[in-house]
Amino acid sequence: MSEPQLPKNVDPTLHPELDEDTDLSWNMRLWKRCRRLLIGGAKDINDRGLFHTVALIPVLAWVGMGADGLSSSAYGPDESFRVLQQHLYLIPLVVLATMFTIFVIAAAYSKVIEHFPNGGGGYVVASHLLGPHAGLVSGCALAVDYILTITVSVAAGGDALFSMFPIQWQHYKLVVEVGSLLFLVVMNLRGVKESVIAVAPVFLLFVLTHIVLIGGAFYVHSGQLPAIARSVPQGLGQGVATMGLFGLLFLFMKAYSMGAGTYTGIEAVSNGLSILRAPQVHTGKVTMRYMAASLILAAGGLFIGYLISGIRVEPGQTMNAVLANDVFGSAGPLGFGLLSQAFIWMTLASEAGLLTIAAQTGFIDGPRVLSNMSLDGWVPKRFSSLSERFTMQNGVLVFGAASLAALMLTRGDVDILVVMYSINVFITFTLTTVSMSRHVWKERRGNPRWVREIYIQVIGAVLCFAILVVMLVQKFTAGGWVTVVTTSLLIGLCLMIRRYYVAVAERLKRLDDQLMQLNVDDAPTEAPLDPGKPTAIILVDGYNGVGLHSLFSIFQVFFPGHFKNAVFVSIGVIDSGNFKGHESIEHLEQKVRGDLERYVGFARRMGIPAEYRMELGIEVVAPAARLCGQIAKEFPVSVVFGSKFVFQRERWYQRWMHNQAVHLLQSRLQWEGIPMTVLPVRVFE
């Protein structure tokens, strides 16, 4: 194997520690190689089939985003069943209500997919139809919800896994859950499609084993169904006589709302439409049908299976573990020794695995919510950035860290976590269905099917609001207050961030108003650029007052008469807002090129020979350094110029609110021997 060659512009006698891959020291090269091994190499941004290769077909989308919904059948019916241990006659009614609610919410979100084909889910729906502040509430509720989705999925997976072992082993459960969470973070840094394909076998094993489990329960205990049907009216009569109508209704609503975790994950498809294979609307609606049908069958089948089997709560075991042992255990009617025991282990292991990978939904859609909010200025702009693997790396890391903190603080207690995250789910559900109801009503004159569409949304709004109120009233002191406080604090933080960005934009608008109106009427120079003369390489980001400020500062204020050429450089940054297909990337390229042509035209009218260079990338520093290096070789007497906002009073948080690309680029270019000057753009308060 040959030794790596050093870059041509680096003296190997002075810098023997460098290699051609990174121009970094040995320990940094080792870190990058380990990172590449774990996360994978960079994807080619110029690959026309890139979006097609990273997008998900319906089956993979069902695996990636349906895992949350389907896995919730392992703890949603479980929670409801535990409430009704002494009132089993209510279970058939709760099952019917649960299945009906799944159908209504899925149908309501199918309409969301139609009306908002670019994705965004509840945040975008509320923002567009009810206003930005309603969107903020929905977005913050979703962000906290997805953090808790990851946490509760990992914790419930730990519960299912340790149901197979002696109760003394529970001491190791939290350690295993933390390891699972870290594994998921690494997988999602590699990319959405890669992580989905990796977990698909576990998903399919869960589906197959639970079909057998539900079928086995019905095969063995189906003779109990007539007696259960007769017990419902008798039990209702006794319940009214002992508790009263309102007492019975309260118990029903408590059990119904405790199963609210069953409905989580239904909204995931509408949030993640942008990562689905084209046509996204069709793919999204097919995925939604897969998700709703599988959840109805799984949740309803398991719930009735608990009832007809006559099982009871066992300490340290989930209800699914109790059901599996009842039907396939050594003392059960379908117990066939080692084969049946192996099936029980596979069932519970697949359940634990699916519950763990259900956190995928949080890692897929949570960063996407933050990304949409960052594009609107509610959270720092860096959350819309993509990594070299085209994942929302910053969001994945934040959600992983927040979920790890929630897991440690609650010690993985599923009862508390389900209450905490179900509240936020129904805040978003309620806002979304209310938004869609209002939209259909306003557009009714142009929509002959408006009656058919609005009743689904109204029923969904009533059901979701009722569940939300019951959960808040019943579980506020049992963990619900933590969710309310956390979401409220996040809303307050977002309001402060938005106010900051609006204030900065208003100050920069003054600069735009002053400079964008300037016009030079002189005939443009046709003189070509002379490579031997001093050249200003000017970094710009869109055609705006900041770029014109740099041009005037260089040629009229700081260095009048010195520079004879101008080369404008711009990087079209591909972020989550425009990574929606090859057409979106082409549109970005056209916009960047158009802005650069305006700069070149303006400079030539000032009598300055000018041209431009551009490139697309997921960030600014690397492609800008590459372009500047090429230009510096072509124009040896050149200086790179970039701009930086300088505030009247510097504050610690401003480093987080604005990217530091100009300083990173300056350090990199200076290391390569290319001079760069940072021009101040003063932002007065």
Write the CATH number for 613: 3.40.50.620
Write the CATH number for 441: 1.20.1740.10
Least confident of 431-435, 571-575, 632-636: 571-575
pLDDT one-digit tens code per residue, 595-648: 999 899 889 988 899 999 988 876 677 788 888 999 999 999 999 998 887 776
Please, which residues have CB within 8 angstroms of residue 569's CB and are 6 or more apart in sequence? 537, 538, 539, 540, 612, 613, 614, 624, 627, 628, 631
Whether the pLDDT of residue 35 is over 60: the answer is no
Judge whether 358 lies within some domain. Answer: yes
Judge whether 513 lies within some domain. Answer: no
Q: What is the mean pLDDT of residues 385-409?
A: 71
Do 410 and 546 fall into the same domain? no
Report the mean per-residue pLDDT for the chain: 77
The Cα–Cα gap between 481 and 359 comes to: 23
The Cα–Cα gap between 313 and 299 comes to: 18
Judge whether 576 lies within some domain. Answer: yes
Q: What percent of the chain has pLDDT over 90?
A: 9
Judge whether 229 lies within some domain. Answer: yes
Task: Provide the pLDDT for residue 29.
Answer: 58
pLDDT one-digit tens code per residue, 297-324: 888 888 888 888 888 877 767 788 888 8
pTM of the model: 0.68
The Cα–Cα gap between 328 and 339 comes to: 9
Judge whether 485 lies within some domain. Answer: yes
Who wins on pLDDT, 40 or 143?
Answer: 143
In DSSP terms, which residues pair with 535 in a beta bridge? 565, 638
Residue 382: which of 142, 619, 105, 92 has the closest Cα?
619
Do 316 and 404 fall into the same domain? yes
Whether the pLDDT of residue 18 is over 50: the answer is no
Answer with the one of 444, 473, 499 that is the final residue of a domain.
499
Whether the pLDDT of residue 30 is over 60: the answer is no
Cα-Cα-Cα-Cα torsion 25, 28, 30, 33, nearest 10 degrees, comes to -120
Do 541 and 455 fall into the same domain? no
Whether the pLDDT of residue 3 is over 50: the answer is no
Do 490 and 541 fall into the same domain? no
Top mean pLDDT of 377-381, 515-519, 528-532 is at 528-532
Task: Provide the pLDDT for residue 353.
Answer: 76
CB 568 within 8 A of CB 596: yes
Domain span at 380: 59-499
Task: Provide the pLDDT for residue 594.
Answer: 92
pLDDT one-digit tens code per residue, 151-164: 888 887 787 777 77
Whether the pLDDT of residue 535 is over 90: the answer is yes
Do 486 and 556 fall into the same domain? no
pLDDT one-digit tens code per residue, 332-366: 667 666 787 888 888 888 887 777 777 777 777 77
Task: Output the 3-class SS for 270-337.
Answer: HHCHHHECCCHHHHHHHHHHHHHHHHHHHHHHHHHHHHHHCCCCCCCCCHHHHHHHHHHCCCCCCCCC
Who wins on pLDDT, 294 or 56?
Answer: 294
Residue 120: other Cβ atoms inside 10 A: 26
Do 551 and 483 fall into the same domain? no
The domain total for the chain is 2
Do 486 and 595 fall into the same domain? no
pLDDT one-digit tens code per residue, 242-287: 888 888 888 888 787 776 667 766 777 776 666 676 677 778 788 8
Task: Provide the pLDDT for residue 273.
Answer: 65
Judge whether 173 lies within some domain. Answer: yes
**What residue type is assigned to position 416 of the chain?**
I
Q: Is the dihedral of CA 393, 117, 201, 295 positive or negative?
A: positive
Judge whether 610 lies within some domain. Answer: yes
pLDDT one-digit tens code per residue, 321-338: 888 888 887 666 676 667
The Cα–Cα gap between 293 and 69 comes to: 11
Task: Provide the pLDDT for residue 391.
Answer: 43
Instruction: Give 235's pLDDT tier (boundaries 50, 70, 90).
Output: confident
